[in-house]
Amino acid sequence: MNRRNFMERIALGGVITASGLGIPYTASGTSGKVLVNENGRLFKADIVIAGAGLGGCAAAFSALRNGLSVIMTEETDWIGGQITQQGVPPDEHQWIETHGATSLYREFRRKVREYYKNHYPLTEEAAEREFLNPGNGTVSALCHEPKVALQVLESMFAPYESARQLLLLRNHKASKASVQGNKVKSLEIKSLHTGNKMLLEAPYFVDATELGDLLPMTGTEYRTGTEAKSETGELHATETNRPENNQAFTVCFAMDYLKGEDWTIPKPEEYDFWKNFEPDMNPPWAGKLLELNYSDPKTLQPKELGFHPEGVSTGSKLNLWNYRRIIHKENFTDGFYEGDISIVNWPQNDYFLGNIVDVSEEEIAKHVERGKQLSLSMLYWLQTEAPRPDGGKGWKGLRLRNDVMGTEDGLAKYPYIRESRRIKALFTVLEEHVGAQQRAEVSGLSGDALVSKNFHDSVGIGYYHIDLHPSSGGDNYIDFGSLPFQIPLGSLIPERMENILAANKNIGTTHITNGCYRLHPVEWSIGEAVGMLVPFALEKGVSPKTVREDPALLKSFQSFIQSQGIAIQWPEK
């Protein structure tokens, strides 16, 4: 089977097993279909996935292609998590086009590019570009609109939904769980539109929510915030354990620029507060938040930034407009776009004045609303007070693009979440395993010989530098080098619970190592591995913990996932 046919079968639902015979696993008597009782309130499947972010979607894809029936819930009307509803173009490493992610993730990226080539009036040169970057943003080799990622994901799920192998419940959120001993028996979910409740049953449950919602609900042991250095031995850990100290979240938005026009929004209610706000950070922040400067993440010294919404060079300063630009009009036929479109996910609209993990729904809503006020204040400041190269102030032609985000207020449907509850896992990834400096110290290696910890139970690979944004407890950036790493199976499995697995930012990392395991392709890889662990465990009649602990089963599982395009180790240098 050539690679293209292999990937087409994965993307369109073909079942590929280690033997290549295409025989699906079966479980729980569902015959690969979602079952529902007569009153329509009880649904059964082989696996229930809470949260349709990238980890949840990847888990669903891999379970579906192996013959399982899947129910997946999503509390907004958009699947895709950080790449769609949160409005964040993919943060990826420099090798992403060829390796360092699963085959299916790269196929998803190929389909995003293909969507533009099939549906948008690209210039001839752009249409012929193999690695098209629609926005030519500097943050990623593939900066694109959230809606295009949504279209691609939904098209990949469409045949499964039609066949009733997948039930995708948008605008639904888990509200309660039934637990017996070390197993989750059922999950109660509620429609956020009608308030109606449904009961979901399955042999396995996956928490792919943004904040680890199922963990307290099911009694699964977990951690939050920062661990003390005395507990983890990490070089960059804090001196004390602060469970309420979590990274900032960001309410992103999109905007374009119409020169000569006035699109100034009404002055936000909290504008005066945010205009004058000076973060109280340790080490100190560089001046006010709403300025074209910030604390350099690596040095924490003041660093000036540039801004010009026509993409004009700002010299040695990073032009924030180009950073997360998702549409560059030069890629499209002349006159099709009035201007570029850019996403605002900048240091200036990181919200860190409150913690939203393990607090009440009212507390979360309060801080999310303040995060929205910060983002709107950022836009208003850009429109009215941001310094221009000509000596003037403000860019009135900046237009809030609510259509890009699919919302009335123009802001993302969901905050960009960087940190979640994290399971107390069979294995926890520490800085000494993946951080470049501490890894060198514990291994005694250097130069090309320096590599991350080799995990015997690796089920995926990834890379990103350790990037922690300012926190609700007053920490400034923590940003330093890491090494290309593996994803250990033990980090996906809770210590005690037997049939719930983690598939988002809730895996067994620390506050520190979360900083490199939380990005788009890694979250996808985590989810895809989880979605294959379930059919394997069901077919073998063993627990996920046993798969990890039994050498023969572990080797068999690793061969199984590799046969479906999941790399478990980096190529040798």
Among the candidates 381, 405, 429, a domain finishes at 405
Tell me if 376 is assigned to some domain: yes
What's the CATH number where 177 sits? Answer: 3.50.50.60
Taking the C-alpha atoms of residue 181 and residue 496, their distance in angstroms, rounded to an integer, is: 10
Q: What is the pLDDT of residues 466-481, one digit of tens each?
A: 999 999 999 999 999 9
Residues 170 and 301 occupy one common structural domain? no
DSSP element (H, E) containing 424: none
Domain boundary residue among 375, 405, 435? 405
Regarding whether 556 and 534 lie in a shared domain, the answer is yes
Phi, psi of 558 (to 5 degrees): -65, -35
Residues 427, 372 share a domain? no
My answer on whether 77 and 187 are in the same domain is yes
| Structure confidence by residue, pLDDT tens digits, 532-557 | 999 999 999 999 999 999 999 999 99
Domain match, 319 and 259 both: yes
Task: Tell me whether residue 410 is in a domain.
Answer: no
Same domain? For 190 and 312 the reply is: no
Instruction: Decide: 152 and 115 in contact? Cβ < 8 Å.
Output: yes
- pLDDT attached to residue 31: 67
Q: What is the pLDDT of residues 222-281, one digit of tens each?
A: 999 999 999 999 999 999 999 999 999 999 999 999 999 999 999 999 999 999 999 999
Q: Which H or E run contains 351? A: strand 350-351
pLDDT tier, 30 (very low <50, low <70, confident <90, very high otherwise): low
The reported pLDDT for the residue numbered 38 is: 67
The set of residues, in sequence order, having a beta carbon less than 8 Å from that of 247 and lying 6+ positions away, is 352, 418, 419, 468, 469, 470, 471, 472, 514
* 429 and 557 together in one domain: yes
Q: Are residues 296 and 387 in the same domain?
A: yes
CA dist., res. 573 & res. 551, Å (int): 27
What pLDDT is stored for residue 572 in this prediction? 85
Residue 445 lies in a domain: yes
Q: Same structural domain for residues 345 and 270?
A: yes
Does residue 114 belong to any structural domain of this protein?
A: no
Q: Give the side-chain half-sphere CA count within 13 A for 135.
A: 29
Res 16: pLDDT: 32
Give the integer Cα–Cα distance in Å for 463 and 430: 15
Question: What is the Cα–Cα distance from 361 to 211, expressed in whole angstroms?
Answer: 12
Same domain, 493 and 534: yes
In whole angstroms, give the CA distance from residue 347 to residue 326: 18
The one-character DSSP state at 330 is G
In a domain, 95, yes or no: no
Residues 300 and 187 in one domain: no
Q: Give me the domain span that covers residue 545.
A: 3-81+156-224+419-562
> 103 in a domain, yes or no?
no
Give per-residue pLDDT as tens, 339-348: 999 999 999 9
Evaluate whether residue 330 is within a structural domain.
yes
Block residue for tokens 């801004």: 307
Where is the domain boundary, 360, 380, 405?
Answer: 405
Same structural domain, 401 and 461: no
H-run or E-run covering 47: strand 47-50
Domain count, the chain: 2
Instruction: Determine the Cα–Cα distance for residues 317 and 132; give it in Å rounded to an integer.
Output: 25
Angle between helix 146-162 and helix 54-65 axes, rounded to 10 deg: 30
Residue 490 lies in a domain: yes
Q: Tell me the sheet residues that pair with 161.
A: none
Residue-wise pLDDT tens digits, 159-191: 999 999 999 999 999 999 999 999 999 999 999
Among 347, 356, 292, 355, CA closest to 476? 347
What ranges make up the beta strands (E) of 489-565?
500-502
